[in-house]
């Protein structure tokens, strides 16, 4: 049996969860969306692909009346190495989180 240490690791994910007003949006809003900023760069390039799920389009009970909930994320393209060793309560961590989440 292989140990966890022997397993190749993938990059990290960055997530954003938000509720938003659905006023003016189409009734047939789709559940899943993908944004590829540059197909030439490839889908494994950092900050190039964002996946979006709006689960409340299939289950309205997940959001308050008149709202949708959205989950956007970078699909295993965020390098953990730039986060390693950072204190999650530090200003450095908060600044990096703000910078790296702009793509979302």
Give CA–CA dist 63/55, Å, rounded: 9
pTM of the model: 0.81
Number of domains present in the structure of the chain: 1
50 to 3, 70, 71, 72, 78: CA distances (angstroms) = 31, 12, 10, 7, 11
Q: Where in the sequence is the domain holding 41, given as residue range(s)? A: 8-100
Residue 47 has pLDDT above 90, yes or no: yes
Residue pLDDT, tens place only, 49-70: 999 999 999 999 999 999 999 9
- Greater confidence (17 vs 10) lies with 17
In a domain, 93, yes or no: yes
**pLDDT for residue 18:** 95
In a domain, 3, yes or no: no
In a domain, 35, yes or no: yes
């Amino acid at each position: 049996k292989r140990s966890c240490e022997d397993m190749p690791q993938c990059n990290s994910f960055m997530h954003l969860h938000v509720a938003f007003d659905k006023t003016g949006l189409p009734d047939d809003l789709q559940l899943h969306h993908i944004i590829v900023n540059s197909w030439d760069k490839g889908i494994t390039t950092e900050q190039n692909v964002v996946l979006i799920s709006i689960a409340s389009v299939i289950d309205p009970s997940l959001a308050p009346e008149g709202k949708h909930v959205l989950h956007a994320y970078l699909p295993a393209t965020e390098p953990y190495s730039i986060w390693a060793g950072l204190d999650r309560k530090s200003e450095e961590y908060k600044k990096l989180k703000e910078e790296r989440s702009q793509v979302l």
